[in-house]
A and B are shown apart, each in its own frame.
Chain A
Amino acid sequence: MKKLVMIGNGMAGVRTIEEILKLAPEKFEITIFGQEPYPNYNRIKLSNILQGDTNFEDIIINPLDWYKENHIQLFTGESIVKIDVEAKTVISDQGHEVAYDELIIATGSKSFILPIPGADKQGVTGFRDIKDCEMMIKSAEHYKKAVVIGGGLLGLEAARGLLNLGMQVDVVHLMPHLMERQLDPIASTMLKAELEAQGMNFLMEKQTVEILGDDHVTGLRFKDGSEVEADLVVMAIGIKANVEAAKNSGIYVNRGIVVNDFLETSAPHVYAVGECAEHREIVYGLVAPLYEQGKVLANRICGLVGEPYKGSVTGTQLKVAGVDLYSAGEIFEDGASTKSIMIYNEFEGVYKKVLTRDNRIVGIVLYGDTKDSTRLYRMLSKKEDISGTAIFQMGNSAEEADDIAAMPDDELVCGCNGVTKGSIVEAIQTQGLTTLDQVSHCTNAGRSCGRCKPLVNQILAHTLGDQFDAAAAQKMSICGCTTLSREELVAEIKEKGLTSVKEVMNVLEWNNEEGCPKCRPAINYYLGMIYMDEYKDDRDSRLVNEKMHANIQKDGTYSVVPRMYGGVTSAADLKKIAEVAEKYEVPLVKLTGGQRIALFGIKKEDLPNVWEDLGMPSGYAYGKTLRTVKTCVGAQFCRYGTQDSMALGIELEKKFERLDTPHKVKMGVSACPRNCSEAGIKDIGFVGVDGGWEIYVAGNGGVDLRAGDLLMTVKTQEEVMEITSAYLQYYRETANYLERTSKWLERVGMDHVQEVLANKETVKALNERMDQTLKKYHEPWKEAIESEEIQDKYYAKHTIKVGE
């Protein structure tokens, strides 16, 4: 076997290896050196991590098992310092010397750090890898004020992430317009206005000349003499190819490692691919061209005659919530030779410009509505003659279908991964695929930036025709331990009569025998939902807070929140709480957002005693269950109140407390539309009006801020209870585990839920299932106090003295 060595373990390089393994699985003995301590991950998604949409585990593209399965020797945390092109060996910083027959340099790039005084201070970072991300997340815990230098793609994504982390963010930009290489001034101005509305502050046309501070950064100074404060500085002005190893070894380097159309460097048997390579004087920094390069290089290394790489036109989009933006090709008119086609709707915030030359599209800028992007990009890259073609479509579904049908098979759908319509259709037909998730797994389409997912979905719909089920097509497997979706899992449990978490994982062939913290709590929930009062709860499959019936805090202590129905308490209860707080020297007593009193900092081993002394039921402030029903004072005391909000709140809370739900559920009851209990941002909110109650649903006051929608108006308290019970039970039976009602309702549709609840028989059946489920619950604190076994297993601490 020939020896193939790769320096670098990033997206472009590992993709090249994947292509090589496809072409010639047995040809090479492969060794990879990666400087970062991780397997290959999706760098594009770093901004999603920063913005809190995903976590590190979800962005790994090739887990360590992949390297093992393909017999690849991987050295992580190790970089190559020297390439001996004569002896054909590489030498690492840890002294490993490895011989090669073919060598790929895929070292990528690093953040360009401005060469100004103070750039080496603590608190200054680039935005390039997991380490940078972690540093920014950590900074946000301790500091308030961030400055991002660079108003380009990366800088704005970083800035949005820092805003999400609760920091105040200034963006410093050298030029008069943001993203000036991708956007024209109109689009750029619209973008700036939107981002300012989101809370970013811009310092335009400022050149940073110094970073201030002692050890740690405290601010920046600009060329005009002005200064700004900063606890964290993120440099996002550009990237710089990692070329040192190549340069030191005598390989020809310009801005990047110079390669020809077959990715060959100046040294024989040495190739470069990705962000470290310079091809026809261009260094690419986007994933699509790098994957194209990888394909060409794989052919070359496997000795196949393939197409040469001729360079790429690239399209970019900004991954910032609330901003829909796409740009490709040229941006500026060059006087005589270009003609532009424009739509500018300032009122709705939509701007579209297509730049043409000689009847062909040469540039695209879309802002506010980017659904034309894939089609226009295709016309641009294929240099289609656009005479007589409608450039902007008004987008009704009939036209969309025509569009898919008219799309030739060799057209690129996923630019990142080079997947054509033909290969998607073929995969769907030959492998019987029915979901977007499956298509992505089989073809790679949509696995990188995800922009093409709507188009892939349309192709799926078109290919399957009548067989296409829109809801099912969106299916996702519940976690990495299985390929089953929630629907399939629930169906299998019912069909095969599976009755325990263990049995589910066994019979349904989980690839991780004992599951993970994603699937085990989910299975436990679904079993309890299906078998109602017959299922024996698997306490060890619950997440820590539910297992312990208390909220774990970051120092390993717990908080205790007793039940206070409807937020109504008494002098006697307050005395008891005060006595417990004193007796156990509780470090913090705090009123919660849900009208409760929380005792923080209780030691685990004290929990059962605290509960016993309180003598109150658990407030379930830790559970995927009904948390609190917040109420206003209402007609009992308030001169505006039209209904008895406290009585309804207490009745609701007494009925539904302890019920397992897919995610936490909060309720609010107000006695008039002034809405003092903030019922409009609760999962279910009730507002008293003259002669009845309005029921609002799917409100959310948290991460996913959303005003509730009016489900219906009813006349009596009995109706309120009946509809609430049916609604909650329907949510329990159809939502994914960990799906809040706000997301769930948007997924299934308000019309659909109203239709379900309009049927009297259905409402009755839902109520019966709810009532049967509610039979099974016991007060968990009381249970713990009375059971030595529970205390011993969950709350005991064993102290051992040595030398006795």
Chain B
Amino acid sequence: MVQTISRIPVANYSNLKARAGYPIKIDDKEIALFKTSKGQVYALENRSPHPKGGVLSEGLVSGEYVYCPVYDWKISLVDGLVQAPDIGKVQTYAVNIEDGIVFIVL
């Protein structure tokens, strides 16, 4: 079996706005890109781990965290971990940036 790792170009780095989410859909995967005010880009599954769900892309970005827009859970952009007192984890994806193009590794 050959495991396929795909590296998919998803956005121009310059199109991403700092402190804002950028929702993308790759086939049936909903992913949100976040650019921090320091210019780092992170990719997370665009779904809150709260039992009622909801999207993350419209959340408030503060440093390396995003706050779930509906239930206010604080989620690390770096590892997807939900911060105490809530618990859970959001799937994260590796991001490469080359020549101003943002790639996601799936």
Contacts and interface: CB of A to CB of B under 8 A. Distances in A.
Tell whether A pairs with B: yes
Interface of A: 37-39, 41, 55-57, 59-60, 63-64, 130, 138, 512-517, 520, 540-541, 543-544, 547-548, 552, 554-556, 604, 792-794, 797-802
Given A798-B23, A799-B24, A802-B8, A541 B69 contact: no
B23 A797 contact: yes
Contacts of A513: 62-63
A565 to B, nearest CB: 29
Nearest to A799: B25
Given A130-B85, A555-B54, A800 B25 contact: yes
Q: Is the interface of B mostly helix, strand, loop or mixed?
A: loop
Residue of B10, B53, B58 ringed by the most chain A CB atoms within 10 A: B58
Interface string B1-29: 00000101111000101011011111100
B100 to A, nearest CB: 16
B55 interface: yes
Given A554-B53, A800-B26, A57 B85 contact: yes
B37 A514 contact: yes
23 contacts: A38-B87, A39-B84, A41-B85, A56-B85, A57-B85, A57-B86, A516-B67, A517-B67, A520-B60, A544-B60, A552-B70, A554-B54, A556-B55, A604-B58, A794-B20, A797-B23, A798-B11, A799-B24, A800-B8, A800-B25, A800-B26, A802-B6, A802-B27
Binding site secondary structure of chain A: mixed
A552 B19 contact: no
Given A544-B69, A798-B23, A56 B86 contact: yes
B20 A793 contact: yes
B84 A63 contact: yes
B59 interface: yes
Interface string B58-75: 111111000101101010
A544 B58 CA distance: 6
A540 B19 contact: yes
Smallest CB-CB A-B distances: 3 pairs: A544-B69, A56-B85, A514-B62
Contacts of A63: 84
B68 to A, nearest CB: 9
Nearest to B19: A540
B63 A514 contact: yes
A37 B88 CA distance: 10
Contacts of B59: 544
Given A60-B85, A63-B84, A798-B11, A516 B62 contact: yes
A239 B54 CA distance: 37
Contact of B51 (A57, A138, A792): A138
B70 A554 contact: yes
Given A55-B72, A802-B8, 7 more contacts: A60-B84, A64-B84, A512-B63, A515-B62, A540-B19, A793-B17, A800-B8
Nearest to B85: A56
A419 to B, nearest CB: 26
A793 B63 CA distance: 19
A104 B30 CA distance: 48
A798 B10 contact: yes
Contacts of B23: 604, 797-798
Contacts of B25: 797-800
Contacts of B54: 552, 554-556
Contacts of B26: 800, 802
Contact of A798 (B24, B27, B84): B24
Nearest to B58: A544
Contacts of A517: 60, 67, 72
B47 to A, nearest CB: 9
A543 B60 contact: yes
Contacts of B58: 544, 547-548, 552, 604
